[in-house]
């Protein structure tokens, strides 16, 4: 029987913290791709029946595989039989993935193209974790990265191969880092969490700002320059907008806030009615703080952008930074 102690590559507590941080940083970084690829809805519906199937059937099956994978790898390592256990676990995970098509919005083909490479990378990491750490370390990775990832409400609308490649490479990078000198692992894992989070927040903000102010982002920033939309949008609020070249006019609907060219001025007002007559779209718009609607009706060619998100109060500050940076 395999008797390797669990401290070969650093203590489990440090490794658990590394996994937590790595998964958090990965998912947060992944969401930056929204700025380049837009968003799409999550993989599952949040109704009771779907959640029951996901948690009980898929979740129960996933943790059963991991528990037995851990048990038999610990039993057979360091012989080559532990590799056989990993191969069997990959096959079982693939079967679970196929069953998942009955629950999620993806077809079985899309599921396999997107997640099959990640299953391979994950089980290679699980093999390493099983031989060197406590079972709780596997639980952390499985719970947050394998199980929890599919519960996210939205995703960047990237080509499938970007997510597929990321899910394959990420666990392999984690494993290579864990194979490093255990003193490095213990030092990194036991460092002040606040310092890591602070550095990440600063870097994240800089990268996000650079992307959203670049020509590559489908989102841009704008500043509300009057109080015509008060109190819902106030002067000085930062507006995250999607330009018209990325919009489908037929998808615009009542209550959407749009920016449009009105007699030489750019107005930010709400759509209160959509008119579709003879396949010609027109929009009745009005400022929330105005008594009257805009006249005449807004033509679709006047639409410049749609307001997607509103960040209160910081618009002038962001505009100043953007101006200083050129």
pLDDT digit string (tens) for 227-265?
999 999 999 999 999 988 889 899 999 999 999 998 889
Ramachandran angles phi, psi of 261, nearest 5°: -85, 120
Is the domain of 170 the same as that of 309?
A: no
Asked whether residue 2 is domain-assigned, the answer is no
Of 180, 211, 242, the last residue of a domain is: 211
Neighbours of 32 (CB within 10 A): 15
Average pLDDT, the chain: 87
- Give the CB-side neighbour count of residue 3, counting CA atoms within 13 A: 1
Residue 199 has pLDDT above 70, yes or no: yes
pLDDT band at 322 (very low <50, low <70, confident <90, very high): low
Range of the structural domain that residue 45 is part of: 12-211
Which residues are within 8 A (CB) of 123 and not within 5 positions of it... i.e. 6 or more apart? 69, 86, 89, 90, 93
Q: Structurally, how many domains does the chain consist of?
A: 2
Average pLDDT over residues 124-128: 94
**What is residue 190's predicted lDDT score, i.e. its pLDDT?**
59
Asked whether residue 7 is domain-assigned, the answer is no
Is the domain of 280 the same as that of 311?
A: yes
Is the domain of 176 the same as that of 224?
A: no
Per-position DSSP letters for 212-266, written without gaps between them: HTSTT-SEEEEE--SSTTTTTS-TT-EEEEEEGGG--GGG--TT-EEEEEETTEE
Per-residue pLDDT of 67-87, as tens digits, reads 999 999 999 877 788 999 999
Contact 128, 178 (CB under 8 A): yes
How far apart (Å, rounded) are the C-alpha atoms in residues 154 and 282? 30
Is the domain of 106 the same as that of 242?
A: no
More confident residue, 326 or 35: 35
Question: If you compute the radius of gyration of the chain from its CA atoms, what whole number of angstroms results?
Answer: 25
Contact 34, 156 (CB under 8 A): yes
How far apart (Å, rounded) are the C-alpha atoms in residues 276 and 306? 19
**What is residue 7's predicted lDDT score, i.e. its pLDDT?**
46
**What is residue 283's predicted lDDT score, i.e. its pLDDT?**
95
**What is residue 273's predicted lDDT score, i.e. its pLDDT?**
95
Residue 213 has pLDDT above 90, yes or no: no
Of 211, 245, 265, the last residue of a domain is: 211
Locate the DSSP E strands across 102-251.
Answer: 154-156, 219-223, 238-243
Is the domain of 224 the same as that of 186?
A: no
Is the domain of 246 the same as that of 142?
A: no
Per-residue pLDDT of 272-312, as tens digits, reads 999 988 778 999 999 999 999 999 999 999 999 999 999 89
Is the domain of 227 the same as that of 147?
A: no
Is the domain of 77 the same as that of 113?
A: yes
Is the domain of 185 the same as that of 237?
A: no
3-class DSSP state for residue 295? coil
Positive/negative CA dihedral, 84, 69, 104, 57: positive
**What is residue 215's predicted lDDT score, i.e. its pLDDT?**
80
Is the domain of 178 the same as that of 239?
A: no
Is the domain of 69 the same as that of 181?
A: yes
Is the domain of 134 the same as that of 269?
A: no
Q: Rounded to two decimals, what is the model's pTM?
A: 0.75
Of 159, 191, 211, the last residue of a domain is: 211
Average pLDDT over residues 192-198: 73
């Amino acid at each position: 029987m395999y008797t390797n102690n669990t401290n070969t590559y650093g203590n489990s507590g440090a490794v658990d913290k590394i996994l937590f941080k790595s998964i958090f940083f990965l998912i947060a970084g992944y969401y930056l791709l929204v700025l380049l690829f837009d968003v799409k809805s999550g993989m599952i519906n949040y109704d009771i029946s779907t959640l029951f199937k996901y948690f009980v059937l898929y979740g129960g099956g996933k943790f059963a595989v991991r528990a037995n994978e851990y048990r038999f790898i610990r039993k057979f390592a360091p012989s080559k039989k532990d590799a056989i256990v990993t191969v069997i676990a990959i096959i079982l995970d693939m079967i679970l993935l196929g069953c998942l098509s009955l629950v999620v919005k993806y077809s079985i083909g899309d599921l396999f193209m997107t997640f099959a490479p990640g299953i391979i990378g994950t089980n290679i990491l699980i093999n390493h974790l099983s031989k060197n750490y406590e079972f709780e370390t596997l639980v952390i990775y499985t719970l947050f990265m394998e199980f929890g990832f599919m519960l996210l409400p939205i995703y960047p609308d990237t080509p499938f191969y970007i997510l597929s490649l990321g899910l394959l490479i990420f666990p392999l990078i984690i494993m290579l880092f864990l194979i490093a000198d255990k003193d490095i692992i213990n030092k990194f894992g036991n460092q002040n969490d606040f310092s890591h989070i602070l550095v990440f927040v600063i870097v994240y903000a800089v990268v996000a700002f650079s992307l959203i102010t670049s020509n590559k982002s489908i989102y841009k920033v704008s500043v509300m320059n009057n109080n015509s939309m008060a109190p819902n949008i106030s002067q000085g609020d930062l507006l995250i907008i999607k330009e018209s070249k990325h919009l489908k006019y037929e998808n615009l609907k009542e209550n959407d806030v749009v920016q449009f060219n009105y007699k030489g001025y750019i107005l930010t007002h709400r759509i209160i009615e959509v008119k579709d007559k003879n396949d010609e779209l027109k929009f009745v718009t009005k400022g929330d703080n105005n008594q009257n609607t805009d006249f005449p009706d807004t033509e679709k060619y006047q639409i410049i952008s749609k307001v997607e998100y509103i960040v209160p109060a910081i618009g002038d500050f962001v505009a100043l930074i953007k101006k200083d940076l050129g």
